[in-house]
Structure formats: structure tokens, C-alpha cells
């Protein structure tokens, strides 16, 4: 059997697992692996400028391709910089394998230089973590890491590698080592029959589409079941792109933050909720007594620990969403149980239009509502939108129209500022790798959020990754400003403007145009609503690009503490 260094074995396994892109930053404790990364022709490595950015880029890549995202870095603070990215991937169910280097085995536990116990640190935010100390356990550990990342509810796994272990030679035959199989839980016929019974017996049943619909690729089945049984579809924020937002059965988002008027209203009118791949997080449910009152829940989820965790569940079904929905379609058709839409269902398009929030403002500075009106009208159905926490994300969730499944990539429960820039890069890398140039990637960010990961503009410029970042620049940490002013009646430490004599015209602090140009990107500032569409086109033509869009400073978002108590603002 041939002998090779563990570092080479790692790269051989990565190749065999189908890895074709990695995001990372080299360093002394991981350099043995980088030697062989430099020799492979199957994997392209993208240099990030911060390890968190590498992890977020791997996250965006995984969401775009459906493959396991892979990030890599050295020891100590490099490894700890992965923590936020792993946490973000964990709560959003994104498969990532993170590889870190560390000090030699002899000095672990002795507070040696950059010898942090990253495997212990990340346990709460990963599905599994390893520090590999025995060379011959490396192949099995790598294979298990990829299996765990993919299996059941997807998520991140970390492998920590002492530098001397990477240099150790072991016997290894790449011709006989193979990826590990994994199983997917499936519903049984009794559960499916009961689910159909409950739906047919209900007066106002609805479907709640969660992020699991996107992950499992179940949008086709979701639509077919809804159309056959005339079921209105609401969505959690993570499920926003599960169905064309203009479909006649689509009511909108349900939540206290990410919501539409009709989404909440129809949910509250329902008496049965078929929740598919949803986790019922607090910003979705709000006050649970309001959320659950007078309605029963059927919950389909791949993770058995989610069922009954937050809302009382009349029927829990542990299954992949796609499998369960297809079984429900087959059962309904076998009974010839097609349901014609009643007035409550057929009125959805008219009610959606009637309850839509106003977008047609002509104000200067630009109202965020007008910006999203222009976005909805300009960008085609193949555009991929990427956004992260802030009022920018809430406006996007409430106002944006998404026509195709999976074309809305969002950082959900972690609320990670800055995620959208590196995730956009990773997503575009994935679409280019799949030879899908029609998938334009557009990030929706704020001036505060962009500052958190601004160094990754260099990664976009370095590889000429043609993303467009739209910066909603209102000179505030505006989500925090809204919380302070409304909940606590004060504002402090949220104003991002400075050097007012120089920049008073724009009411901003950082000059994002000059900043982007310094990194090597195309950039321009937009101040008039009528100039937006032409600027969008120039940005696409010159991507990677940034548009610094000067927005009205104190526009707030509509939100509340319960589904029946949303304060309309803006």
C-alpha cells in the first residue's frame, strides 16, 4: 500500500468527496495541507481576507450548489474567527466542513503559541467537532465529517489538525477509500393518511413553508400539493422563496419582524397549519398564545428534536420535506380528494394587492420602499438575492418579490452582520462553477453591515467575482436605532456619520464609492430614485460593483410583539 503524508491524504479525500472550491487563509499550522492544495488541479482555492469571511463564503457556496462548503485556516485566532460562521451555518442548517490547523500534539494543553482548543470551543455551534491526534484515524474522521454534514438536518463539522500530524506518513490507498453512505428519514403511510384526513376535515387549512422546503428542493411538490388541495401557502422568512411570491395561493410571510399583512392575517384565520421544514423561532411566532390559539399543527421536519419543541404538535412527521410532500400528493390523488378553492382561498390575490404596503414614494433621500419597487421591476427572475440582518433585510423580506425557488439566500436566526458580502461571493463562485452565468448575484446590505466584512471586497476584486452589492446607506445602525427610539425612547451610539463638513451633502460617514474603488471595484453613489434602474444596469455591466444608495435616514420597519399587534411604520 502506498505511503503519503496525512496532508496529502486530506487533499485526496477532499477531491473524492467532490470538493471543487475552498475558501480560506493559509498559516504556519495548516501549511502542510496547503502544499498539496497547491498541487491539485481539481480544487480551486479562494483567499479570503478574514477567516470569518472564508466561512461565510463557504456557506454561500453550499446554499447555491447544494454541496458541502469547505473552509480552511490556521490555528489560534484564525480558528476562533470561524466560530461566527459555524454558528450561522448551524442555525440555518447549512453543510460545511471547516478544517483548522493547530500546534504540535506535544504542546497541546500547554498554552503554546496559537494552540487554542477549537474543537471544544465550537461544540455548541457544530454537529460534530474533532481534534485528530492519531494519524491513521484521519481518513475515517474526514469521511465521517462529510457524512455528518450532509445527513439528516445538514450542518457544520470542524476538523482540527495538529501540524505534526499533517506531516506524518501513513499507508493510504485512495483507490479503495470511499465516501460514506447516509440515510434520510421517511414518513410512514399511517402518518400521511392522518395528515390528509386532518387537512380535509379542517375549515381553513394552510401550509407554512419553512427553510427546509428550500434545502430539500421541495418547491415543486409544495406547489403541487397546495394546488391539488387548494391550500394557501404562507412562509417563514427562511421559506420566502419556496414559491413564486405572485402565485395565486401565496399569502406572504408570517412573523413579527419578517411579515406581510396578508401573511399574518391569513395565518390567524386558519384552523390547521401544515408546517414543512420550519423551526418556529421567536421572531416568527411572536407571542405563542396568539400564534397557537384555535389552530392545530402538523409538523414535518427532518430533525425529530424540532417536533413539539416550541409549538404543540397534533401530528409530527419525521421526514425529508420532499419525500413527505410527494407521499401526501400520492395519497390525496389515490383518494381522488382534489379540493376546489373556496372564496377564502380564491380571494388571496385580491387581498394581497389590497393589503400590500405602499412602495411608490418619490422622496429624496430615497425611501427604502421605493428602492425595492425599483428592484422588483428591474431585476429578472434568475437574479439571486443575498441579504443579512438589519433594516435592509427586513425591508427586503417585506417588500421583495422572488419568482423562483431558492433565489433568495438569507442569514436567518444568527442575525450575522456582514454575512451577505462573503456569502454573495461564495454563491456566485458556485453558480459560475455550475456554468450558470444567468444567475446574477445581488447583495442587499446596509452601511453598518457592510463595514463588518468590508475586507472581503478584496476577495471579490481578486477573483473578479461579478457580484453587485446594493448598500442601503442611511448613516445609522438603523435596526438598533429603531429599537432604542421606540422601545426605550432614546438614541445613542448608532449614528455612523462623521466628518460632516466634507460629507454633509450625503449625510454619511464612510465614502463607500472611494472605498470600493480602493479595493478595485466599480462603484457609484445614487441619490435620486429615478436614477436607480440605470445605475443597476451599470453595476451589472461592470461587476463586481457597489452602489452606494443614499436612503432616508429615519424610515422604520413595521413590526410588533405578536402576529395580531404589528405596528405599521415607514
Whether residue 207 has pLDDT greater than 60: yes
- The pLDDT of 58-64, averaged and rounded, is 98
% the chain with pLDDT above 90: 96
Q: pLDDT band at 502, cuts 50/70/90?
A: low
Q: What is the DSSP string of 54-121?
A: HHHHHHHHHHHHSSPEEEEE-STHHHHTTHHHHHHHHHHT--EEEEEEE--GGGTTTT-TT---HHHH
Q: pLDDT band at 410, cuts 50/70/90?
A: very high
Q: What digits encode the pLDDT tens for the residues 263-305? A: 999 999 999 999 999 999 999 999 999 999 999 999 999 999 9
What per-residue confidence (pLDDT) applies to 36?
98
522, 434, 469, 431: which is closest to 60 by C-alpha? 431
Q: pLDDT band at 483, cuts 50/70/90?
A: very high
In angstroms, what CA-CA distances link 288 with 204, 285, 354, 563, 570? Answer: 20, 6, 28, 9, 26
User: Which domains does the chain carry?
Assistant: 3-171 (3.40.50.970), 189-354 (3.40.50.1220), 357-567 (3.40.50.970)
| pTM of the predicted protein model | 0.97
What per-residue confidence (pLDDT) applies to 446?
97
In contact, 496 and 486? CB cutoff 8 Å: no
What per-residue confidence (pLDDT) applies to 107?
92
Q: What digits encode the pLDDT tens for the residues 251-260? A: 999 999 999 9
Q: What digits encode the pLDDT tens for the residues 431-453? A: 999 999 999 999 999 999 999 99
What per-residue confidence (pLDDT) applies to 536?
98
C-alpha to C-alpha distance for 296 and 206, rounded to whole angstroms: 11
Q: What digits encode the pLDDT tens for the residues 152-186? A: 999 999 999 999 999 999 999 999 999 999 999 99
What per-residue confidence (pLDDT) applies to 185?
93
In angstroms, what CA-CA distances link 401 with 250, 369, 440, 533, 560? Answer: 11, 13, 16, 16, 22
- Three cell numbers, residue 405: 425557488
Helices 138-150/6-16 angle, 10° precision: 30
Alpha-carbon dihedral angle through residues 263, 266, 272, 278, given to the nearest 10 degrees: 0
In contact, 397 and 385? CB cutoff 8 Å: no
Q: Taking the alpha carbons of 486, 488, 493, 498 in that order, is the dihedral positive or negative?
A: positive
Helices 391-399/368-378 angle, 10° precision: 50
What per-residue confidence (pLDDT) applies to 1?
77
Q: pLDDT band at 505, cuts 50/70/90?
A: low
Mean predicted lDDT score pLDDT of the chain: 96
Amino acid at each position: 500500500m502506498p505511503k503519503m503524508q496525512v496532508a496529502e491524504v486530506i487533499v485526496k479525500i477532499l477531491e473524492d468527496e467532490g470538493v471543487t472550491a475552498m475558501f480560506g487563509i493559509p498559516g504556519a499550522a495548516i501549511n502542510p495541507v496547503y502544499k498539496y492544495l497547491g498541487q491539485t488541479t481539481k480544487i480551486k482555492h479562494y483567499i479570503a481576507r478574514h477567516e470569518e469571511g472564508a466561512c461565510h463564503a463557504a456557506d454561500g457556496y453550499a446554499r447555491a450548489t447544494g454541496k458541502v462548503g469547505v473552509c480552511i485556516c490556521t490555528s489560534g485566532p484564525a480558528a476562533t474567527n470561524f466560530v461566527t460562521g459555524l454558528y450561522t451555518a448551524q442555525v440555518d442548517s447549512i453543510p460545511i466542513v471547516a478544517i483548522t490547523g493547530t500546534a504540535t500534539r506535544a504542546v497541546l494543553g500547554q498554552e503554546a503559541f496559537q494552540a487554542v482548543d477549537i474543537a471544544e470551543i465550537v461544540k455548541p455551534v457544530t454537529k460534530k467537532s474533532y481534534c485528530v491526534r492519531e494519524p491513521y484515524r484521519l481518513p475515517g474522521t474526514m469521511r465521517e465529517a462529510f457524512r455528518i454534514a450532509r445527513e439528516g438536518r445538514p450542518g457544520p463539522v470542524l476538523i482540527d489538525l495538529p501540524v505534526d500530524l499533517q506531516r506524518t506518513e501513513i499507508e493510504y490507498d485512495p483507490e479503495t477509500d470511499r465516501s460514506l453512505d447516509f440515510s434520510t428519514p421517511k414518513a410512514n403511510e399511517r402518518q400521511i393518511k392522518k395528515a390528509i384526513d386532518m387537512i380535509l376535515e379542517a375549515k381553513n387549512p394552510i401550509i407554512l413553508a419553512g427553510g427546509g422546503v428550500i434545502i430539500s428542493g421541495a418547491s415543486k411538490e409544495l406547489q403541487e400539493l397546495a394546488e391539488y388541495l387548494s391550500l394557501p401557502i404562507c412562509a417563514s422568512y427562511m421559506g420566502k422563496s419556496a414559491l413564486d411570491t405572485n402565485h395565486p395561493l401565496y399569502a406572504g410571510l408570517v412573523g413579527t419582524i419578517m411579515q406581510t399583512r396578508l401573511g399574518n392575517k391569513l395565518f390567524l384565520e386558519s384552523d390547521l397549519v401544515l408546517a414543512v421544514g420550519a423551526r418556529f423561532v421567536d421572531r416568527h411566532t411572536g407571542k405563542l398564545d396568539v400564534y397557537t390559539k384555535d389552530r392545530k399543527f402538523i409538523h414535518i421536519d427532518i430533525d425529530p428534536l424540532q417536533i413539539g419543541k416550541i409549538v404543540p404538535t397534533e401530528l409530527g412527521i419525521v421526514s425529508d420535506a420532499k419525500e413527505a410532500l410527494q407521499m401526501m400528493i400520492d395519497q390525496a390523488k389515490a383518494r381522488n380528494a382534489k379540493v376546489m378553492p373556496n372564496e377564502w382561498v380564491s380571494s388571496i390575490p385580491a387581498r394581497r394587492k389590497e393589503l400590500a404596503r405602499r412602495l411608490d414614494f418619490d422622496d429624496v433621500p430615497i425611501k427604502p420602499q421605493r428602492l425595492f419597487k425599483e428592484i422588483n421591476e428591474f431585476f429578472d427572475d434568475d437574479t439571486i438575492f443575498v441579504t443579512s440582518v438589519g433594516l435592509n433585510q427586513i425591508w427586503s423580506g417585506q417588500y421583495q418579490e422572488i419568482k423562483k425557488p431558492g433565489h433568495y439566500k438569507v442569514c436567518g436566526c444568527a442575525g450575522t452582520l456582514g454575512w451577505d458580502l462573503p456569502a454573495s461571493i461564495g454563491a456566485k463562485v458556485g453558480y459560475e462553477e455550475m456554468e450558470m452565468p444567468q444567475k446574477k448575484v445581488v447583495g442587499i446590505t446596509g452601511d453598518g453591515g457592510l463595514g463588518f466584512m468590508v475586507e472581503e471586497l478584496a476577495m471579490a476584486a481578486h477573483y473578479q467575482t461579478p457580484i453587485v452589492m446594493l448598500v442601503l446607506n442611511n448613516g445609522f445602525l438603523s435596526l438598533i436605532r429603531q429599537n432604542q427610539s421606540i422601545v426605550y425612547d432614546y438614541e445613542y451610539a448608532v449614528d455612523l456619520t462623521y466628518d460632516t463638513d466634507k460629507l454633509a451633502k450625503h449625510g454619511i460617514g464612510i465614502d463607500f464609492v472611494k472605498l470600493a474603488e480602493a479595493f478595485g471595484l466599480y462603484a457609484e453613489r445614487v441619490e435620486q430614485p429615478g436614477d436607480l434602474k440605470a445605475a443597476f444596469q451599470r453595476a451589472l455591466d461592470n461587476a463586481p460593483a457597489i452602489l452606494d444608495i443614499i436612503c432616508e435616514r429615519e424610515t422604520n420597519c413595521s413590526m410588533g410583539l405578536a402576529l395580531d399587534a404589528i405596528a405599521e411604520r415607514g
